[in-house]
Amino acid sequence: MSQPQFIVEGGRPLAGSIRPTGNKNAALPIVCAALLTDQPVTLENVPRIRDIESLLSLVRAAGASAEWTAANTLVIHAKTVRGDTLPPDLCARIRASILLAGPLLARCGEVTLAPPGGDVIGRRRLDTHVLALEALGATHEFGERIVFRAKALTGADIFLDEPSVTGTENAIMAAVAAKGTTILHNAASEPHVQDLCEMLVALGAQIEGIGSNVLTIHGGRPLHGGTFRIGPDHIEVGSFIGLAAVTRSRLVIEDAGVQHLRSIRMGFDRLGVTTEISGADLIVPAEQEMRIRSDLGGAVPKLEDQPWPAFPADVMSIAIVTATQCEGIILIHEKMFESRMFFVDKLVGMGARIVLCDPHRALVSGPTQLRGAQVESPDIRAGMAMLIAALCAQGTSVINNIGQIERGYERIDERLNALGARIQRVANG
């Protein structure tokens, strides 16, 4: 069945306030972490997005209950769980299915998964997950099925081969259940990793070094139930900064989690897009310089992604669209995923001046007037980037395959229409 489309009328300025939803990439591991205890866990500010619904289907298949008690409040109760009943098609739908490995291994001593899915943005390793779980005492089988087994999990001194986000999260969840102390070196430290740690601490875990790349976890303490509120999605905030800039709109991004925005704001600053902090809110003024800042001596500047706390890979696609509306030239270097930049073809089709140097680097020269077009949305962030491009373009655009956008952004058409956008969601065919 074909997916609905967005019909977007471009060129309209937006205005008003918008609140980011809870962080998708925090909510996903935190839902999994709720399976570590047999007590009920209440999660607030959970985004109502497709990836969460897919994960909840997996959680229920494992034997836990998961009920929405308010629009964004979820109660998970994993009184008993099983690790051998996860439907392969659901595992293949989302990257986050792999995050069930740590908690179900800890609870059941064995877990069987199918290889995870997620955005088709290039090869996605699982080696770090295996490295960490093996160090804690698990064995693994890897093929059409991924099986982890452990009679007992024991704390260990672990150096991760890369600061994998989900790899770190799996390691943390397993280490919290393991007897003894685990030291995780070269750990990822993104806001979502921090949120997961804080949630586990709220349930009784002992974790030191939260926010750094060395975590010390004193495991084996029984976890109780509790309530935890998911933090705001900094990637969504980055998306709204780009949206405001290219539509020349003043937007107030409420309760934006400003403590986590330094690298994102600095990245947009390089494009000539400045933002202001006002209490807990972030303001994007309508008047922007939109002039790319050259490096010293007039050299061509570069915007590159790196592990946290540097500029996040998931905001790169949004930065590319923004750069098409700024005066000057900039090299965008996406270091991580081999297929994430291919969507720039679609921007070129809309009038952007972009040279894709190789799968990781693109040279963007602006500003160019974008024209409405019929486009696909290949992954969550490219999809959002296309939506932003359509809102800034002259004329009408059609965005197909919007299920990709809705994997990560809650009611995005409704929320942007409340700011003055014209986005119509229509059934396709």
Ligand X SMILES: CC(=O)N[C@H]1[C@@H](OP(=O)(O)OP(=O)(O)OC[C@H]2O[C@@H](n3ccc(=O)[nH]c3=O)[C@H](O)[C@@H]2O)O[C@H](CO)[C@@H](O)[C@@H]1O
Q: State the nearest-atom distance from the C-beta of 119 to ligand PEP, in Å.
A: 4
| DSSP states of 178-212 | SBEEEEEES----HHHHHHHHHHHHTT-EEE-TTS
The answer to whether the beta carbons of residues 323 and 270 sit under 8 Å apart is no
> Which amino acid, 381?
R
Does the protein bind ligand PEP through residue 383 (CB under 6 A)?
Answer: no
Nearer to ligand X, 54 or 166 (CB): 166
3-state SS assignment for residue 313: helix
Q: State the nearest-atom distance from the C-beta of 175 to ligand PEP, in Å.
A: 22
Query: Which positions from 254 to 293 touch ligand X by CB under 6 A, shown as an x/- string?
Result: ----------------------------------------
Among 43, 52, 165, 171, which residue interacts with ligand X (rule: CB under 6 A)?
165
The secondary element (H helix, E strand) that includes residue 344 is helix 344-349
Q: State the nearest-atom distance from the C-beta of 190 to ligand X, in Å.
A: 6
Nearer to ligand X, 395 or 403 (CB): 403
The answer to whether the beta carbons of residues 7 and 396 sit under 8 Å apart is yes
Buried b (16+ CB within 10 A) or exposed e, 30-67: bbbbbbbbbbbbbbebbbebbbbebbbbbbebbbbebe
Point out the annotated binding site for phosphoenolpyruvate. 24-25
The answer to whether the beta carbons of residues 325 and 289 sit under 8 Å apart is no
Please, which of residues 108-127 interact with ligand X by CB under 6 A? Answer: 124
Q: State the nearest-atom distance from the C-beta of 39 to ligand X, in Å.
A: 25
Does the protein bind ligand PEP through residue 314 (CB under 6 A)?
Answer: yes
- Tell me the C-alpha distance between 183 and 192, whole Å: 19
Nearer to ligand PEP, 195 or 372 (CB): 195
Among 50, 93, 95, 192, which residue interacts with ligand PEP (rule: CB under 6 A)?
95
> Which amino acid, 89?
D
Query: Strand runs (DSSP E) across 10-85, as ranges?
Result: 15-18, 40-44, 65-70, 73-77
Among 30, 200, 347, 380, which residue interacts with ligand PEP (rule: CB under 6 A)?
380
Please, which of residues 38-67 interact with ligand PEP by CB under 6 A? Answer: 51
Does the protein bind ligand PEP through residue 116 (CB under 6 A)?
Answer: no
Does the protein bind ligand PEP through residue 118 (CB under 6 A)?
Answer: yes
The listed partner (ligand PEP, ligand X, none) that binds 428, CB under 5 to 8 Å by sort, is: none
**Residue positions annotated with a catalytic role:** 119
